[in-house]
Amino acid sequence: MELLSQIRHYAFQYYGVDWAVTLMVFIGIFLLGDKKKAGFLLGMLSAALAFIFSFQIGSIANGVTALVLFILYFRGYWKWRKVERNPAG
């Protein structure tokens, strides 16, 4: 029973935020592969959660990465939106 307790502790040590980020990144990339702009929105949400996670683990590098990813996802979403509005250019 001790092994299950340890697995549970390490699997949910960060209240599931790390697992939520992981799942959202995978689904977001899958959606982008299917040319669905919702992948960008899910990516922004995952980056925001990753930023929170960086505080939980005390990692400045992870926080910077999450912030840059959020900006890149936002940029991709914005550019895609502009193309949908004006397909000619």
Instruction: List, for residues 4-30, the tens digit of each pLDDT value.
Output: 888 787 778 878 888 999 999 999 999
Identify the band that residue 1 occupies on the pLDDT scale cut at 50, 70 and 90.
Answer: low
pTM score, whole prediction:
0.81
Burial annotation 21-57 (CB, 10 A radius, 16+ → b, else e):
beebbeebeebbeeeebebbebbbbbbbbbbebbeee
DSSP state, residue 87: T
Residue 12: both structure tokens together:
């949910």
- Taking alpha carbons only, the member of 87, 86, 80 closest to residue 38 is 80
**Phi, psi for 71 (deg, rounded to 5):** -65, -40
pLDDT of residue 10: 78
Instruction: List, for residues 47-74, the tens digit of each pLDDT value.
Output: 999 999 999 899 999 999 999 999 999 9
Q: What is the mean pLDDT of residues 32-47?
A: 95
